[in-house]
A and B are shown apart, each in its own frame.
Chain A
Amino acid sequence: MNWDEWVPLLVIASSLLTGLFIFGLAEEKVRLRTVLNLLGAVTKLGLVGWMFWGGYHGHYFETRLPLLPDLDLVLRAGPLALLFVALSSVLWLLTTIYAIGYLEGSPHRSRFFGFFSLCVTATVGVALAGNLITFLLFYELLTLSTYPLIVHRGTEEARRAGQSYLIYTLCGGSLLLLGTVWLYTLTGTLEFTPQGFIHGLGEEHHVALVAIFILLIAGLGVKAALVPLHGWLPQAMVAPAPVSALLHAVAVVKAGAFGIVRVVYDVFGVERAAVLGLTGPLAAVATVSIIYGSLRALFQDDLKRRLAFSTVSQVSYIVLGVAIAGPIATVGGLVHLVHQGLMKITLFFCAGNLAETLGVHKISEMDGVGRRMPWTMAAFTVGSFGMIGAPPVAGFISKWYLGLGALEAGQGWVILVLAGSSLLNAAYFLPILHRAWFRPPPDAWPHEHDFGDKETAWALLLPPVITALLAVGAGLLATAAFSPLEWAQLIARREFYQP
């Protein structure tokens, strides 16, 4: 038996089976559930490591199962897939640890962790999908498996947030389906290929191709929270903190952005997309999202909402990098896929810690919180500086390559966007840091939990500290082997320079 054919499937199975097992577990079996969760996450990480090793040596694992007479379910660990799959499996492990700590003692944990695992299964499936129909399958599965997490608390507010989330994402999903079927009727294949698979279609299909591109990008843009399709994201903040963290950093929003990367590079091909006149408008949409998200973030007092609008802005950097349509900007966009994930998850972990330990939800309540929770706020500070784009945190690398790429592609205006956005980022992050570190703490916190002489539980503190370190590491060691930057450069070479 050839194991290579099954590794990608095993990666999927490692979280799928974990999820299914956990659904069947009784609520009080905390220890077994924890063991299963961690076992699944570690197994996945190991398998992804194996695939990475293969990929590094130019050997890409592939699983192929028949789905329809001429269409297969394909899971392929190509370079782009590996970038995203590695990010999600590392962050899944950390988020699992965090969630175990965060949800300690709260009800319905079996259900929560079951869907949590399904959600990661779907994300990894999105990452590994080797053709558009497989992508679509896992993309919809992601919608379905996150819904129970958003309505998890079972309040009327949660139900409404879930409803709004579904209206947006299912509409997006059906646009994506329509675009996919339409494309299939034209090309007869849906296989992701570097530089696209629509070479065979001539001028006469121009209008159809433009329409398909719009359908696909609109369908994906809903999850990527491109303005004006972002309405669901701030509402979805009612979900528990680990879910928000996962939603923003790896799962839903990233799946959308990743899908846009796939469509531009591996369906249309950057050059063809540029010839069709599609990258310009896409860059415009991304720019609007970047500025609009930052502006809205400025005026939020709720910490999680401010972070949510910040996501709207930050994820669009990825789209912008893709839409500039040059090799260096591509590197910037792709590397931001990872960097934004590391930094944003740190910020959400920290926001969750503040809420869980002190009952602090609003920025106006954050006075002096740095003295009470120094480690948490240190991690938060790293994340914030990264978002602003200050070296040596990873965000700087992204912005550097985006700017450089824009100049190389002759699109200097992007520099202005980047500068403006960085200013706005600073305007909404620095006041938080100022409050946290330099204002005196209040006499009593809104709702304080006692963790003895520690600032909070280990399971809550460790993940943000690790992700913050990773974010700094990705910035400092950007040129080391296996760094996200190196990997992004490999992908860009395949897209732009190989025949």
Chain B
Amino acid sequence: MGDALFNIPWAVILILLPLVGGMTCFLWPKVAKTLGLFTSSVIVLSVVGLAWKMIGNGIYRHAVGGWSSPLGIELYADGLSLLMLAMAALVGLAISLYSTAYFEQSLSLRFWPLWLFLLAALNALFLSADIFNLYVTLELIGLAAVALTALSGGRDALSGAMRYLLATLLGSLAYLFGVVLLYHGFGSVDIAILAQRVEATPIVWAALGLMSAGLVLKTALFPLHFWLPPAHASAPAPVSAVLSALVVKASFYILLRLWLDIFGPLGAEGVADLLGLLGAAAVLWGSLQALRQTRLKLLIAYSTVAQIGYLFLAFPLAVGDGVAAWSAAAYLALSHALAKAAMFLVAGNLLRFGGHDRIADLDRVVERLPITVTAFALAGVSIMGLPPSGGFIGKWLLLEAALVQGRWDLVVVMMVGGLMAAGYIFKVLGYAFTQADAPHESRPVPLSMEWAALLLAIAAILVGLMATEILPLVGIGDPFGTGGVKP
């Protein structure tokens, strides 16, 4: 029995199940909710299965159809992939739970197929080991995400989605050019093979520039973040949560992979410094904008811009000590995903409850929706980087790396960014206690929506107490060490 469980190809399930599930939802809308919830639950179990297997065997490889790379498609997972898969699975489950209550019938019909499709694409992306498959999955994610953004069909949603579509297509296109250049120059799209073959030639630099630019655009790094706030703020709450928590992480993940295995070893310190600089600017600018917002969803969206900045601070630091900086970035990505998804779900609850998301008129929600406000507060703790939370562990590791390397500029950015985050989060919490000038009609919020948000927020806190379990898992296959995925 144990062996049989051990030998199940968990990674294949991770891709095929949501794909099939999505199609079934489309063909048979009646079962969509049940099926969606079921799929998300099985995905969580599959990630656990995969982790179990990887703890025993190390790096996971699966040659699809028996054709191994470079001829066939190979599924590949190391600790970093596992972390991203786990992140997607956890956030995905909470969002599925939330969405069963959130969407009315007509929207539900369109939501579930797209959402499961998006999940399949995300999982496939995190399991890909060649830059072309990464492109395909990235494009699939982009298209599904745009469609989800436009779901409600309102004016804001459509214009936000349109901007998003253009940005994401442009980003993918730039990335694809890079793929073509690399394939032309070195005759392979397999990351491991490329890693052995690339040298510091003009073609590689051009590919690096194009791919980085495209991915940075899709990750919404300052100053290329212009598309994110309108798209994330106008989408339905669970979609905003997916976009902020998972979709931007997908392109970041690709960038990280390319950097770790292909471009990093070439010694592109200049690019690393540039990315770090933009990251610092993103932290400050995003936080500043978030502080200035009067609408909750926009505030949360700008907070995402700021939090993405932190991930990029790891690039210059990784030049000195890769393992420390990348572990910090991975930890920040995970805890941001959990916390930010929780926050958007909270925003959805408040929007449903009061019919608006004006921060100053929250009107004593602390006593009327205590679970929701608790979720916001706990998620906020992680976003601010206060202990005990995942965000704190990430910030601690990053600060430590910055101090060891004497990067005081980055230290100051992190400290100021944390304080500004506290500023915008407590702005919301402060108004949650006070009474609004004019009372509003309120609508009840289903319990599953409140709890989905709270569970995510609790997860963001718990992640902060499990660093000694999570960090070794991320280390499986030594993704951040010299050599990375090279066989």
Expressed in whole angstroms, the Cα–Cα distance for A140 and B388 within the complex equals 9
B386: nearest chain-A partner, CB-CB: A140
Residues of B with C-beta under 8 A to A170: 384, 419, 422
Residues of A with C-beta under 8 A to B435: 154
Contact of A151 among B370, B396, B430 (CB under 8 A): B430
Residues of A with C-beta under 8 A to B367: 107-108, 111
Residues of A with C-beta under 8 A to B465: 67
A68 and B467 within 8 A (CB) = yes
Residues of B with C-beta under 8 A to A177: 396, 399, 415
Residues of B with C-beta under 8 A to A151: 430, 433
Q: Report if A159-B471 is in contact (Cβ < 8 Å); known contacts: A137-B387, A166-B422, A181-B399.
A: no
- Which A29-74 residues have a C-beta within 8 angstroms of B? 66-69
Instruction: Indicate whether B215 reaches chain A with its CB closer than 8 angstroms.
Output: no
Residues of A with C-beta under 8 A to B92: none
Residues of A with C-beta under 8 A to B467: 66-69
Contact of A166 among B366, B381, B411, B426 (CB under 8 A): B426
Expressed in whole angstroms, the Cα–Cα distance for A170 and B426 within the complex equals 11
Residue-wise, chain B 361-387 has the 8 Å CB interface mask toward A (1 for contact) of 000101100100000010001001011
Residue-wise, chain A 101-120 has the 8 Å CB interface mask toward B (1 for contact) of 00000011001000000000
Residues of A with C-beta under 8 A to B387: 133, 136-137, 140-141
A394 to chain B, nearest CB (A): 35
Instruction: Indicate whether A400 reaches chain B with its CB closer than 8 angstroms.
Output: no
Residue-wise, chain B 337-365 has the 8 Å CB interface mask toward A (1 for contact) of 00000000000000000000000000010
Contact of B403 among A152, A154, A166, A182 (CB under 8 A): A182
Expressed in whole angstroms, the Cα–Cα distance for A478 and B429 within the complex equals 46
- Which A159-182 residues have a C-beta within 8 angstroms of B? 159, 162-163, 166, 170-171, 173-174, 177-178, 181-182
B466 to chain A, nearest CB (A): 9
Instruction: Indicate whether A184 reaches chain B with its CB closer than 8 angstroms.
Output: yes
B383 to chain A, nearest CB (A): 13
Residues of A with C-beta under 8 A to B364: 154
Expressed in whole angstroms, the Cα–Cα distance for A133 and B465 within the complex equals 13
Expressed in whole angstroms, the Cα–Cα distance for A137 and B418 within the complex equals 15
B468 to chain A, nearest CB (A): 4
Residues of A with C-beta under 8 A to B419: 170-171, 174
A69 and B430 within 8 A (CB) = no
How many A-B residue contacts, CB cutoff 8 Å?
Answer: 80
A163 and B426 within 8 A (CB) = yes
Residues of B with C-beta under 8 A to A158: 433
A109 to chain B, nearest CB (A): 11
Expressed in whole angstroms, the Cα–Cα distance for A185 and B324 within the complex equals 13
Expressed in whole angstroms, the Cα–Cα distance for A133 and B399 within the complex equals 14
Instruction: Indicate whether B431 reaches chain A with its CB closer than 8 angstroms.
Output: yes
A235 to chain B, nearest CB (A): 14
B430 and A68 within 8 A (CB) = no
Q: Report if A181-B403 is in contact (Cβ < 8 Å); known contacts: A66-B468, A67-B465.
A: yes
Contact of B430 among A143, A159, A173, A178 (CB under 8 A): A159
B120 to chain A, nearest CB (A): 35
B471: nearest chain-A partner, CB-CB: A69
Instruction: Indicate whether A156 reaches chain B with its CB closer than 8 angstroms.
Output: yes
Residue-wise, chain B 171-193 has the 8 Å CB interface mask toward A (1 for contact) of 00000000000000000000000
Expressed in whole angstroms, the Cα–Cα distance for A143 and B403 within the complex equals 25
Residues of B with C-beta under 8 A to A144: 377, 381, 386
Q: Report if A178-B468 is in contact (Cβ < 8 Å); known contacts: A111-B370, A155-B434.
A: no
Q: Report if A69-B468 is in contact (Cβ < 8 Å); known contacts: A154-B364, A178-B411.
A: yes
Contact of A154 among B377, B426, B434 (CB under 8 A): B434
Residues of A with C-beta under 8 A to B404: 185
B396: nearest chain-A partner, CB-CB: A181
Instruction: Indicate whether B393 reaches chain A with its CB closer than 8 angstroms.
Output: yes
Residues of B with C-beta under 8 A to A156: 434
Expressed in whole angstroms, the Cα–Cα distance for A69 and B377 within the complex equals 27
A184 to chain B, nearest CB (A): 7
Residues of A with C-beta under 8 A to B422: 166, 170
Expressed in whole angstroms, the Cα–Cα distance for A151 and B397 within the complex equals 33
Instruction: Indicate whether A428 reaches chain B with its CB closer than 8 angstroms.
Output: no
Expressed in whole angstroms, the Cα–Cα distance for A159 and B364 within the complex equals 12
Instruction: Indicate whether B478 reaches chain A with its CB closer than 8 angstroms.
Output: no
B403 and A68 within 8 A (CB) = no
Q: Report if A68-B396 is in contact (Cβ < 8 Å); known contacts: A140-B386, A159-B433, A173-B386.
A: yes
Q: Report if A162-B430 is in contact (Cβ < 8 Å); known contacts: A170-B419, A182-B403.
A: yes
Residue-wise, chain A 303-342 has the 8 Å CB interface mask toward B (1 for contact) of 0000000000000000000000000000000000000000
Residue-wise, chain B 390-429 has the 8 Å CB interface mask toward A (1 for contact) of 0001001101100110000001000100110010001001
Instruction: Indicate whether A232 reaches chain B with its CB closer than 8 angstroms.
Output: no
Expressed in whole angstroms, the Cα–Cα distance for A111 and B396 within the complex equals 31
Expressed in whole angstroms, the Cα–Cα distance for A177 and B411 within the complex equals 11
Expressed in whole angstroms, the Cα–Cα distance for A487 and B132 within the complex equals 70
Instruction: Indicate whether A429 reaches chain B with its CB closer than 8 angstroms.
Output: no
Expressed in whole angstroms, the Cα–Cα distance for A143 and B426 within the complex equals 12
A366 to chain B, nearest CB (A): 32
CB-defined A-B contacts under 8 Å, sample of 24: A23-B370, A66-B467, A67-B467, A68-B396, A68-B467, A69-B471, A107-B367, A136-B387, A144-B381, A147-B426, A148-B433, A151-B430, A154-B433, A154-B434, A154-B435, A162-B426, A162-B430, A166-B426, A170-B419, A173-B386, A174-B419, A177-B396, A178-B411, A181-B396
Q: Which residue numbers of B lie inside 8 Å of A, CB to CB?
A: 364, 366-367, 370, 377, 381, 384, 386-388, 393, 396-397, 399-400, 403-404, 411, 415, 418-419, 422, 426, 429-431, 433-435, 465, 467-468, 471
Given contacts A173-B386, A185-B400, 10 further A-B contacts (CB under 8 A): A23-B370, A67-B465, A108-B367, A111-B366, A154-B364, A154-B366, A154-B434, A177-B396, A178-B415, A181-B400
Per CB-CB distance, the 7 closest pairs between chain A and chain B, nearest first, are A66-B468, A137-B387, A154-B433, A181-B399, A159-B430, A151-B433, A185-B403
